[in-house]
Chain A
Amino acid sequence: MKILVPLKRVSDPDNANKIKVGAGKVETTGLEWKPNPFDEYAVETALRLTENGTNAKARLGEVTVVTFGPKETETTLRAALATGADKAIRVDTTDDAIDGDLLARALKALVEREKPDLVLLGKQQVDGDANQVAQLLAEYLGWPQATFAGQITSEADKALLVSREVDGGSIKLRVTLPAVVSVDLRIVNAVGVTSMHTPPTHKYSDGVRFAALMAIMAAKKKSLTEVKLTDLSPDTALKIKYTGFDLPPARKAGVKIKTVAELVQKLKTEAKVL
């Protein structure tokens, strides 16, 4: 199975430097970055689907990772290569030159070029939280889609049984490949992915795998190619325009109330909930 996994770096929520908002945009100077966690789950899912878990070194498929960003985002790709992905593509652009729709259109062109059987994505980015790319991509490709996957079972490489996380429970869908699937947190549970290659007795550790030292060295030699955004999508017009950014308002100090009567009064006149 050939799998394409789009990845993005996001600003690290544990950043020592607080995010600043400048003239109509988020200041990124001095920020530390990490891969979007849901994208890391997508990579882990792709690796589990293309290996025998008892001998993960022998790859039984091909996992290609792609990111959209400037040169320094290659670190995100190299990290994915170090956990086991086979090759990487960087589409040269910047965050403010793309939106979800352009990304989906460019990915469609990339899918036509790379011909994967499956596109696996994180359900959303933890910075923009748009949750659009998987759905748009499936629509543009005319492929079946299954979003918010919490469990995936591969069936003879031709179809996937996907358990989707929805309000109040889960829905099982069978998608015929090629397809687009986006993943949720539970997919990286020990039993999140059942691959036809891995014996059912094998138990994964919860979470994503660590990059082994030897794999980090091997990742230096893996293919990482650069593609121009306009080669994938000559039309680079954006559908989303950001008009401004504001930080959440600082919390105001609370007040201490002495009597019940005062509380009721304030609930009526200030909070206006009574």
Chain B
Amino acid sequence: MDFTHAEHHELLRKSVRDFARVEVAPHARKWDEEERFPKELVPKLAALGLLGIRIPEEYGGSGMDTTSYAICVEEIAKVDGSLALTVASHNGLGTGHILGFGSEAQKKKYLPKAARGEWLAAWALTEPGSGSDAAGLRTTARRDGDGWVIDGTKMFITQGSVGGFCVVLARTNPAVAKQRGITAFVVEHGTKGFSASKHLEKLGCRSSDTCELTFDEVRVGDEQRVGDIDCGFTDTMKILDRGRISIAAMALGLGYGALDMAVTYAKDRKQFGKAIAEFQAIQWMLADSKTELDAASLLTYRAAWLADEGRRYGQEASMAKLFASEASSRAINRALQIHGGYGYTREFAVERHLRDAKICEIGEGTSEVQRMVIAKGMLHDA
């Protein structure tokens, strides 16, 4: 067994780390406070290749694998959870759906623009009334001549207002079991009736764009349908599996980032005549965090490796996301505790990490949903 990363993965990690240190870290606090999506960074993200990580080169992307996707998200999250969420969702959800299940014409139309950053991607599954019960969605798409008419409301949509296109899941057949009557459509910004109706204010990841979307008699042609009619939910589950790896990676980055801050602070901060790092109470917190984050990292990169090997990885992705997100929140809480009163202030980034990390326990399936998926894999899929 070999636990070392491939050379190109190491080079990638270093490059994204350097980029995050120079282009992201100095601004992350300001973006968070202004609660503003950093549009000005998009060309730089595109130039580095971070907006088309898994898109093949023939469509203008970077042609990398799921492990690379996780590495990129982890390294960005070390300094900014919001941007990590942007990169994770743009690559994994919106463009991921076109990449995985779109027609050749759709790939040619959407993927190059996504990779160049001309069109950021949104992905609309969740609704005001359906979250964990994703298949309970009530947005509808009904046949209208050659095309479709979409009606409904979507909730918590990342890149909802800054995206150039959105892949939306809608019910096309109310007569069959709820998972079997759902179809995906790609809707472009500016399409009549499609709007970001509300910008949502959040606890963390505040410079990531989150919106409520309204579809009011939105007419699209059949060429905007992604995948087979009534088969959208199966595709959605596959998108979520891979997306969970990126959320695990985001949690890892936030956790490791905060742990680094805690180590630096503990060595520097003196109380009772010595560095607080010399106290066992602090050492145990650091040791627990390091151990749990490394365990989370092994789970995350195992799931990514399985995905890259073309093997089943849904259960492993859920285990990675469940454990990494909760380990990360614990590690950041300890890091904040080590910082004491200073950690509670916005002078130090650790409080921002704490707020940003919470979404990892909720987004792309709550911890509770992950446990359902893992147990289902053990009890029903064997």
Contacts and interface: CB of A to CB of B under 8 A. Distances in A.
B47 interface: yes
Interface residues of A, number: 15
Interface string A194-220: 000000000000010011111111011
B14 A213 contact: no
A204 to B, nearest CB: 13
A214 B57 contact: yes
B57 A211 contact: no
Nearest to B8: A216
A1 interface: no
A219 B49 CA distance: 15
The residue in A212, A213, A216 that gathers the most chain B C-beta atoms within 10 A of its C-beta is: A213
A211 B62 contact: no
A87 B49 CA distance: 22
A11 to B, nearest CB: 16
B372 interface: no
A212 B61 CA distance: 11
A78 B57 contact: no
A82 B11 contact: yes
Nearest to A82: B11
Give the dominant DSSP class at A's interface: helix
A207 B63 contact: no
Contacts of B64: 213, 216-217
B1 interface: no
Given A79-B11, A82-B15, A220-B8, A213 B57 contact: no
Contacts of A82: 8, 11, 15
A75 interface: yes
Interface string A60-90: 0000000000000001001100100000000
Interface residues of B, number: 23
B20 to A, nearest CB: 10
Give the dominant DSSP class at B's interface: helix
B48 interface: yes
A110 B307 CA distance: 44
B146 to A, nearest CB: 38
B10 interface: yes
Nearest to B63: A217
B15 A211 contact: yes
A213 B53 contact: yes
A212 B46 CA distance: 9
B231 interface: no
Interface string B26-66: 00000000000000000000011110010001000111100
Interface in A214-251: 214-217, 219-220
Interface string B125-137: 0000000000000
Interface string B181-214: 0000000000000000000000000000000000
Given A75-B10, A78-B7, A82-B11, A213 B48 contact: yes
6 contacts: A75-B7, A211-B14, A211-B15, A213-B53, A215-B49, A217-B64
Given A75-B10, A212-B15, A213-B64, 9 more contacts: A82-B15, A210-B18, A210-B48, A213-B72, A214-B63, A215-B49, A216-B11, A217-B8, A217-B63
